[in-house]
Chain A
Amino acid sequence: MVEAFAVASGKGGTGKTTSTLALGMALAEEHDVTVVDADMGMANLLFHTGLAEVETTLHDVLVAGGAPVDAAVYERHGMDVVPCGTNLADFEAADPARLREVVATLAADTDVLLLDSAATLSSRAAVLPVVLADRVVVVLEPTIPALSDGLKVQEYATSYGTDTAGILFNKVRDADAIERIAPKAERYFEGPTLATVPASDRVRAARRNGRPLLAHAPDAEAARAYREAAATLTVRNRDSGAVADRFRSAVLPESP
């Protein structure tokens, strides 16, 4: 079985990468999880996973005649991690449309695919992970711009045939306020509130240490919230082969 989730938000700084890895580690307790840095223009998953120095990344797989997908897969923290490089020239040389094939290949051998997506909807490369995923997890903050951008992500996702798995409020500084905000937000989102994650210095410390939150501070309140989110997220059973075929046949153009 396999299900692909895009972890997305229209706005930067909401903590998508932290959320992707935390959900990944929590889901990895029960599933085979593969995490892909699909934010190909502003990659940062490598810095959260101690993979900043690795030789081969997604960029190398996405160039014509590039490396095989396997060469960019690293086993870390109980997951398969596919980091992306940060070199702008490499991003320009990469062909985002090849992501479809990468996702199809990875889907054949995992239960859960998490695609850490770009914080923008302004280019084809940025929107592609949302198109390829089965469902999107929308990462929000309790602010007007974050909610507004999160709503846009959902509309794009729906327009391209991707469902909403749920919303995740991150960097929450006022527990009372979120109790009023979350139910109101749920009226507009198709999925439930998976968790509200408190703002935490330990999240920043984890990033500085190049480790996912659940590895760095598994007992932190934020870590607990992510485990709760993962428990709320019911992974759908699908046949891997069929899903891989679906990705391969997803009607996406070859690069122009």
Chain B
Amino acid sequence: MKLPEGRLVRSRVVEDPRTVLVDALDRELTGYAVFEPQDAILLEASGRGVVTFRRGVPVVAYHTGTDRAGPPALADLAAEGPYRIRLFALAPADLETVHDRSTFRVPPGMAAERLAGDPALADRTRAAAPLDRLDGATESAGGAAESETGDADGVDERQPGAVEAFLDDAEKIEAIREQARAEAAERADEWGFDDVG
């Protein structure tokens, strides 16, 4: 997925992808966000996640490490914080080509609902989305969520594409579990639980 570089409007390290979604929505960003996880343990699955926005509403998602697009790319960019985030503004015309790729699309509220776990933000995002991207819209609004379920018509806002893709990534889940086990063992010493379990 090729995008012009655009004008950098924000660069920061955040713990939670929610921050970026709120920021993009509040500033009605037309452009894109680059998510770069800083977590060393998951670096094997490294790469960057890219989410584009039109007036603050996510349109397409892509992950450079896995080369996946649409909802699975949202799952790929889910990682333990912190992330380095950069937000770029672009002219709407610069996004046209990539926004035309229906397999890259994500339903407007999916990142907020499934990646950030914030239903209220998802509702706000959906309220800001143009009508042709909401439920009952034609195939141009649909995209990858459909291709994942094989359901060719309409868009279900809450399609679990991203959550399912996350659960399908056994390697990533194992990395999360391994990290938690290591943490639990380390803290057992720290907290004096060392003879437990």
Contact = CB atoms under 8 A, between A and B. Distances in A.
Query: Do chains A and B stick together as partners?
Result: yes
Nearest to B80: A148
B115 A127 contact: no
A256 B191 CA distance: 10
A145 B160 contact: no
A155 B160 contact: no
Interface in A144-177: 144-148, 151-152, 154-156, 158-162, 171, 173-174, 176-177
B197 A160 contact: yes
Contact of B158 (A11, A156, A177): A177
A155 B192 CA distance: 18
Nearest to B79: A148
Contact of A252 (B113, B167, B180, B196): B196
Highest count of chain B CB atoms <10 Å: which of A143, A144, A185: A144
A131 B160 contact: no
B124 interface: no
Interface string A86-100: 000000000000000
Nearest to A14: B117
A242 interface: no
Given A160-B197, A174-B156, A143 B180 contact: no
A151 B114 CA distance: 16
Nearest to B111: A144
A181 interface: yes
A184 B160 CA distance: 12
Contact of A159 (B114, B162, B197): B197
B158 A160 contact: no
Query: Of B16, B177, B184, B188, which is in contact with the most chain A CB atoms at under 10 Å from its CB?
Result: B184
B78 interface: yes
Contact of A188 (B114, B162, B167): B167
A173 B118 CA distance: 12
B152 interface: no
B37 to A, nearest CB: 13
A122 to B, nearest CB: 9
Interface in B177-191: 177, 180-181, 183-185, 187-188, 191
B168 interface: yes
A188 B184 contact: no
Contact of B181 (A143, A159, A174): A159
Given A160-B193, A174-B156, A184 B117 contact: no
Nearest to A254: B192
A144 B162 contact: yes
A159 B184 CA distance: 7
Contact of A131 (B115, B156, B176, B193): B193
Contact of B163 (A142, A152, A160): A142
10 contacts: A124-B191, A131-B193, A147-B167, A152-B177, A155-B181, A174-B158, A181-B160, A184-B167, A185-B167, A250-B196
9 pairs of A and B residues whose beta carbons are closest in the complex: A161-B197, A143-B117, A155-B180, A253-B192, A159-B184, A251-B195, A184-B167, A177-B160, A152-B180
Interface of A: 11, 121, 124, 127, 131, 141-148, 151-152, 154-156, 158-162, 171, 173-174, 176-178, 180-181, 184-185, 187-188, 199, 250-253, 256
